[in-house]
Structure formats: C-alpha cells, structure tokens
Structure 1
Amino acid sequence: MSYNIAILGASGYTGAELIRLISGHSAMKIKALGGNSKAGQSLAQVFPHLRHLDLPDLVTMEEIDFSGIDLCFCALPHKTSQEVIAALPQDLKIVDLSADFRLRDPEDYAKWYGNEHAALAQQQEAVYGLTEFYREEIRRARLVAGTGCNAATGQYALRPLVSEGVIDLDDIILDLKCAVSGAGRSLKENLLHAELSEGYHAYALGGTHRHLGEFDQEFSALAGRPVKVQFTPHLIPANRGILATTYVKGDAQVIHETLENAYSGEPFIAVLPFGEPPSTRHVRGSNYCHIGVVADRLEGRAIVVAALDNLTKGSSGQALQNANLMLGIDETEALTMAPLFP
C-alpha cells in the first residue's frame, strides 16, 4: 500500500531532510511540497542536491488539495504551525516538527514561547513524539508533536535514569553542543561564516532556553515530583550534530546497566561499552543515537554522553519514525541508512 504525503515548510533544512529520507521510502509518495517563500520554484532550484528526484514544484500552502493526502509533515516555525494546523482537515494525520504542540499546559507554552496558544483543541490531542517512550500512543495518534532536538538528546541520556531513580534528581547538569543547522535556514547575522567559524559560544544561559520546558515537563512526570536540570547549550561551527554531556550523582556501572536495559532491542539507540564516549561524527546523517557512560574521578559521580544528528534523529528522522508508526508501516522503514563518514 502507498500513502500520499505532503510537506509544509519544505524549503527549510528539516523539510529538505524529510524529502531526502522519504525519497527512499517504499510506501510513501510525496504529492505536495508547501513553501510559501519559494513557491513556484522547482526542487532543483531550492535544493540542487535533490535535483535527481521527480517531485512536484513548491507551492503555497493554500494551493494544496489535502483531500488526497494521508499524512502531512509540518516543518514550519512555531506560532505559524499552530495556526496552519488548526485550519487543516480534522481527519488528516499530522506530524508537527515545530514547538507548538510539545508542551501540554497552555500556560507553559505561553511562558516559554511568549504568546498564547491559538489551537488549544489540537494541543490537547497531540502526543509527544519521543518515539521510544511514546510508541503506543503515537500509533493511535492523529497529531504527533516532534520534540526539540536538544530536548531529545538530553532525554535519551537521562530518562531511564530518572524513571529508575538511580541518580540524584536534584543534581543534574546538562552541557550541550549543537550544530548551526539547529537554528534553521533563515538568514541571521550571528550565523554568518565570519561570525561563527573558528570558535563556539554558550547561549540562553541561566535557564532561559525554551527546551527546558520539555525537560521540566517530561522529567517531572517521570519522577512524580518537580525535577529541574541545570542546562547550558553551546553553538558550535559544524553543520550537523548534537553532543550532550550530562553530569550526575550515582554509581556509573549501575547507570550503564540501566541504560543498556532500557534500550535493549531499540533499533536506533546504541549504548556503547562502559567507558567509551560517543562522537557526533559517528552518527552524522543517520537516525542513530549513541550513548556512553564514564565513571568520574569523583566517587559516586558519572558522566553520560549522548550524540545524535539534530536534523535526522533529532528532527526529521524522528518525524518519519513516528509517521511510520501512525500509518502502520515498519518503524524503521527508510531510516536504517549508515552514518556518513568521514
């Protein structure tokens, strides 16, 4: 069986990644590409690396006929996404890659994103799209909210440890490095090559990063009480990748065993041998996440490191993994490609 797919926001980085992944899918056909800023242009004009694909030109979202679409990916900016999704057919399956439906409490959304939510009915039905932990809910969902790429990386390192209670929940430090594509494709002065290359910097210090809303929501729900991590993200001069280094109190061997048990059988999560740290270069361009555990020299402390590709496992690959579940397709379809190296 073949399913017809639409992608809104197809001219951005996550849109391009979706097209790349779905082009090798045996059961999905891209029928519509929405991109208002690039409407009327061919895919070859917008993304020359995809010129070999026989796909429709980009159009405005208003030009798309959704009556023949089985599932729609929305790769739009937050605030825009909720307004667009609220107007889509109510029986249409949707995977949203924006931040608009990740937070269950409308007050939390307003706090972290600075505006009131305009699609409360859809927000209440949305399922959080961290696949490995919401798999059954995602299978039954009409609307899935993809996680933030930083939030996904940190959660892969920490969720099993929080839920099993093997670390001190009041002493979690998360130091994260993210590649520049995580900031999107829009032109920004601070992302110019001369402004960004040959160095890296911390940003959103002191607990102001929006993905903290997801950490607070998910870790607190797991623990049954408020859990707040100390989180500092850094922008690095690389195109792809996230490396999250977490510092926790607990027995390193127990932490490693807990992660191994939690991810046993998961197709895209690999827990490395004890003492081996992961690298972003070993997951680049793939839907895999590597996690390593190292004992700290300070007794009773451990370092947990997680690496993934922010555009694939952190966003578009995760979105396709969720879409496969929603459509009853093998979860790994079109996602088992090997990482790119070097």
Structure 2
Amino acid sequence: MKFKNLSVLGAGSWGTALAQVFSRNFDEIYVWGRDKDLIEKINSEHVNYRYLPDIILSENIKASTDINYVVERADILIVAVPTQVTRDVLQGIDVSVNIPVISASKGIEIKTLKLISEIIRETLDLPEKNIFALSGPSFAREVALGLPTAVTLAGNLETGELLQSVLNTETFRLYITDDVVGAEIGGAVKNVIAISTGASDGLGLGNNARASLITRGLYEMTKVAKVFGGRAETLYGLAGLGDLVLTATGELSRNRKFGIFLGKGFSVEKALKEVGQVVEGVKTVKALKKIQEKYDLELPISEVVYQVIYKGLSPKEAVRILMSRQPKRETF
C-alpha cells in the first residue's frame, strides 16, 4: 500500500490537530467540515480561527465542505466528528474497501448503544480488518503544537503495524492492539468520569476525592468494556487509564471544565455554554444509563453523573450518595 494523502472528516479541534500532526508525513491532507467560513479561512489563512486560533497550519492542509471530494482523495480516512452525528455524516458516502478508516471520535451512540467502529462498518460496508480506533491521552491543542503524545491504535495487527510506521511522527507515537472494543469503551466512558472529577474539584473536595473517583471510575470503565467483549488489560493502558488521568485532571479537558462549573453551582445549560464546545460525556452518560439497565451493572459514579445532568440532582447530594453506599469489597 502507498499512502500519499490522508483525509479527515471533522474540522473541529481534534480533526484539525490530527491533520496538523500528520501533515509532515503525507503529500496532501484534506479536511472536511460543514462551516463554509471556517473552511475558507483554513484555506486562505491556514488557521482554524474557531478551535485552534493561534496555531498556523501546514500549507499542505486543504479544507472543503464537499465530503465526497475529501473522501475520494484519501489513502487513509480519519473520522473525527461528534459521536451522535457520525452515522448521519457517513451515510451516502462511498469509500474504497481497500482504504483504512480510523475512528478518532470517542463515544457510544445513544439510540443503538453501538461504538464508532460498528457505525463505520454498517454505514460504509467495510471489512473489519480495515477499521481502526485511535484513542489515548491526547489534548488536541498539545497535539497540534507538536508536544510529545502517545496513543493507542486498535484494529487488525498486520495492517496496524503498517499504519503505525506511516503515522508515527517525532512527536506523536502510536502503540497498537487488536482490542478495538476496549480502546473505544475507554475513550468514551472516561469522559463521564472526568465530569465527576471536575464536579468534585468545583466543590473543593480536594485531591483525595479526585484520586478516588479516578480509581473507582477506572473500575467502572473496565466493567463496561467486559460486557462489550473488551479486555481489562486495554483499560490499564493508554486508551483507558492514560486517557482517564488526562481528561480527569487536565486544564484543557472540556468534560472536566463542564464538571467544575456544575460543582460551582452552574446549571447544565450555563455550564455547556461556558465550555463552548462539544462535551461528549453529556451524551455518553445517557448511553451508559441504558447499558447499566440492559446489563444490570453497578456503575455508581456514572449513575450520579446522569442524575446530576438529567434529573436535577445537586452535586453535593451526589457526593453524599456515593459516600453512604453500602460497604463492600474493592473488586469482584
């Protein structure tokens, strides 16, 4: 396989950051987005003024509102659009069965409880060996700035090794695994746990509380991964623990910021407005609620996050509920 061009669906901060970091490895990078003005500015000024306004983009990055134009030019296709619109975006486009398609989105479709890799397989009718998931501790801004980052690429190991050699840069390192489910569940559920740590910080509950939520949150992530067929060991790696620690503690985390505003007494609507970008955990927790009920799982942190966002539970009361639960063993 020869990989000259790479295409990215999604002109948000993450899609743009991936285009930027991979631009040194490809002849041309094509980016699709819906916002005509944003796309024009990327082409004329080499800046994504909405999401990464102070970063000058490489000149070989070309943007378009024509999704078929972008897809047709791809030797590798990356999907980096919000989870709940992924199916709609992919419907009707024609992708060669020989092209690797990499999901860079993190979430679970609420209506179907399906992962992004499953949506890609259904909508694009691609062989499973060509579908991959990219996940791990990776703030878009730091990736775009060229700061050292290590992530997981999950999928077919043989093709994955080839992609690893093509995509690795001096600042962006990929480790491969064949556990797509584990990688995707880790990337999705950690956003919900990050909302809880943000709320804890917003309430001023201290470092002990944050560390406890991260640790017990990892346990919840592992339980969800197992019922979907993922492996616990994947959740102990970059796509699980690594991404969780970053998102639950990092200043650039949208989910943590949202949680902080909730902890400080902001309404859900005002907290979302203050963040100003998609907070994937808000939608993912609705999917987790359905998973919890379907598989009869005990997910106490995810449950109280759901109750705070959708049922009006106060963050202070959520803390009381968590701390007064019946004593039990640490693991089962």
TM-score (norm 1): 0.41
Flag the structure with higher helix content. 2
Flag the structure with higher strand content. 1
TM-score (norm 2): 0.42
